[in-house]
Structure 1
Amino acid sequence: MSGALMLPAASSAAGRFDLLLLALLVLCGLMALALLVLVFSIRYRAGSPADRSGANRQHRALEYTWTLVPLALFMCIYAWAAYDYAQLFRVAPEAMPVFVVAKQWMWKLEHQNGRREIAQLHVPLGKPVRLVMTSQDVIHSFFVPAFRIKQDVLPGRYTMLSFTPTQAGRFHLFCAEYCGTEHSLMRGEIIVLPPAQFAEWLAQGAATPGIAARGFELYRRYGCSGCHEPGSSVHAPDLHGLLGRTVHLQDGRTLIADENYVRDSILLPDKDIVAGFKPIMPSFAGQISEEDIMAIIAYLREQQP
């Protein structure tokens, strides 16, 4: 559906959402034509001279038809839209992670090897990308019209978004949530490069150490290794292979450990206490930055079996 009236469809999700929009427009148009709403509204308006004699005041089959058929059609549209929406959060195992911190009024991004960008994101053509995002201050929204993706970026938690670019080039990135006086200046661009060219670009700006190696240094600096390593003297949960693992909590609940769970465990350690362990971990709120928490998460992800 891309063309003169549409933005480029530059991601794997764009074509699906364009087709969904077209189907919804066609369905709504057909419903309007089939019911002749405008014609009937004018002809049989109150006070019109239209002949109403002999009108059938009860036609159950027709009533059921115009109620159930549109309902079924729109429920199909709902199921279609829900399926396509869910695909945005199904992450391919080989997806390239990118860590995003939004703040008034810029986007700060970091790749796995430690290369950082501001207001730009370089990604490889045809390769899945997974964004792990949080806000340093207020609610922002990561919006790339050409990719047909938009995700709120919230303070105090992580949100995730996946996409696969299908066209090389430069595409606008906006904040789609009013975030303050300079909201309109919070712009950027996504730069999609062929894989070989992207690998060359990524290697040129690689930081030493990379984000996972920096996370390991922070893991030791903040004392995590003194409690959470298997041989430590303190009785604390083992963090190796944590992400994606089912965690049983002291209050009987279970959850799947993800980035938000790790962040909460660092800043709000009394929120989800693991079964069999005492709530002795101190809070690091106000002592550790969002970038450092993301680095520790990157290190833990590298420890997955």
Structure 2
Amino acid sequence: MSASTTGVQTDALFIAMVLLCGGMALLLAGIIVFFAVRYRAGSSANRERPPSHANGLEAAWTLLPLLLFLGVFAWAAWVYVGQRQPPADALPVYVTGKQWMWKLQHPGGRREINELHVPLGQPVRLVMTSEDAIHSFYVPAFRVKQDVLPGRYSYLWFTATRLGDFRLFCAEYCGSEHSAMVGRVVVMQPADYARWLQAGPAEPGLAERGARLYREHGCSGCHDAGSIVRAPSLDNIFGRTVHLQDGRERRADETYLRDAMLLPAQDIVAGYAPQMPTYAGQLSEEDIQALIAFLSQPRATP
């Protein structure tokens, strides 16, 4: 039984495809058996003047299956697009795959290893990357699976509909202990989830830690208002469209911000000189996630 809204949609689509394909197979098998018996050798079937074509029948067996399967395609496309567009109020959780464990961090600072606690009925958006090999975040009961790649972010979202513990796997072979890279997703009542968050170790929130890193690494000296260095403002940068020097445009999402820190020469903002140094080797994946959480927060502009 599925345990997420995604699972309900996926199961309905799968059942419809099984019924449609099974029905078509039974229909064709029945027709084959009927003609094999009706026109068997020695039968009394009239074989005189057999028709050379039947336009209506030929159109029917061509167009009806085509329309049916195009309908299934449209339905699947609608489900797929919906699974790639999380609600605006989705709870962000940062996930890092590593041989051979899942490291997860909530916005409030609570961290987990091979476990993910989420509230019932609340959309959850996972922002995922890998420190080494390609992994794949897979929760069978939720019917969700997404590859987790080194050097970039991938995304996944779901809304849990059942309380309980659900198995979490890595579904991409990632080394000798791949089979041990397992965990669980714990779905809790919202009030219990809030208490669970508060019961964790007293740690700074992800955005709070990002603000500290922002100052420590000198980002504020170049990107804040009043800086003597001419650099793009990062106030409310997240989600904006950034115009680049070569005429391209990019949306300032997690991947863009990560690239801007590690590969600053890749996407030069229009009107600015390529003078930002790279922070590759200076920031861990957790540091980058904290900085992104900080930059994702709305800030009042002077």
**TM-score above 0.5:** yes
2:9 aligned with 1:25: no
Equivalent residue for 2:109, pick from 106, 111, 114: 114
After superposition, the C-alpha distances for 1:169-222 in whole angstroms (9 at most, x for unaligned) are 000001111111111111000001111111001011154211111101111111
- Say if 1:304 and 1:172 are closer, same or farther in 2 by CA, change over 3 A: farther
Equivalent residue for 1:34, pick from 27, 33, 36: 27
CA contact (8 A) 2:110 2:203 kept: no
CA contact (8 A) 1:144 1:172 kept: yes
Give me the TM-score of the superposition, normalised by structure 1. 0.91
The separation in 2 between residues aligned to 1:98 and 1:83, in whole angstroms, is: 25
Deviation at 1:33, TM superposition (A): 2.2
The separation in 1 between residues aligned to 2:34 and 2:271, in whole angstroms, is: 69
2:199 paired residue number: 204
2:236 paired residue number: 241
2:143 aligned with 1:148: yes
Equivalent residue for 2:93, pick from 86, 92, 98: 98
Deviation at 1:295, TM superposition (A): 0.3
Runs (4 or more) in structure 1 with deviation over 6 Å come to: none
1:65 paired residue number: 60
The separation in 2 between residues aligned to 1:41 and 1:141, in whole angstroms, is: 48
Deviation at 1:39, TM superposition (A): 2.8
After superposition, the C-alpha distances for 1:200-259 in whole angstroms (9 at most, x for unaligned) are 010111542111111011111111111111211111111111111011111111121100
CA contact (8 A) 2:95 2:105 kept: yes
**Residue segments in structure 1 that go unaligned for 5+ positions in a row:** 1-7
2:180 paired residue number: 185
- Say if 1:32 and 1:244 are closer, same or farther in 2 by CA, change over 3 A: same
CA contact (8 A) 1:113 1:211 kept: yes
Deviation at 1:109, TM superposition (A): 0.2
The separation in 2 between residues aligned to 1:135 and 1:38, in whole angstroms, is: 53
1:121-160 equivalent positions in 2, closer than 5 A:
121-160=116-155
Q: Count residues with an aligned counterpart.
A: 295
Equivalent residue for 1:262, pick from 257, 263, 268: 257
The separation in 2 between residues aligned to 1:39 and 1:284, in whole angstroms, is: 68
Which letter maps to 1:101?
A: T
- Say if 1:42 and 1:155 are closer, same or farther in 2 by CA, change over 3 A: farther
CA contact (8 A) 1:142 1:175 kept: yes
1:163-174 equivalent positions in 2, closer than 5 A:
163-174=158-169
After superposition, the C-alpha distances for 1:73-127 in whole angstroms (9 at most, x for unaligned) are 1111111111112222222222111000001110000001111000000001111
Equivalent residue for 2:298, pick from 294, 298, 303: 303
CA contact (8 A) 2:129 2:153 kept: yes
1:56 paired residue number: 51
CA contact (8 A) 1:242 1:304 kept: no
Equivalent residue for 1:14, pick from 7, 22, 29: 7
The separation in 1 between residues aligned to 2:228 and 2:114, in whole angstroms, is: 45
CA contact (8 A) 2:130 2:150 kept: yes
Identity of aligned residues (%): 55
Deviation at 1:29, TM superposition (A): 1.2
Structure 1 SS opposite 2:212: helix
Deviation at 1:13, TM superposition (A): 1.1
The separation in 2 between residues aligned to 1:166 and 1:244, in whole angstroms, is: 29
CA contact (8 A) 1:243 1:257 kept: yes
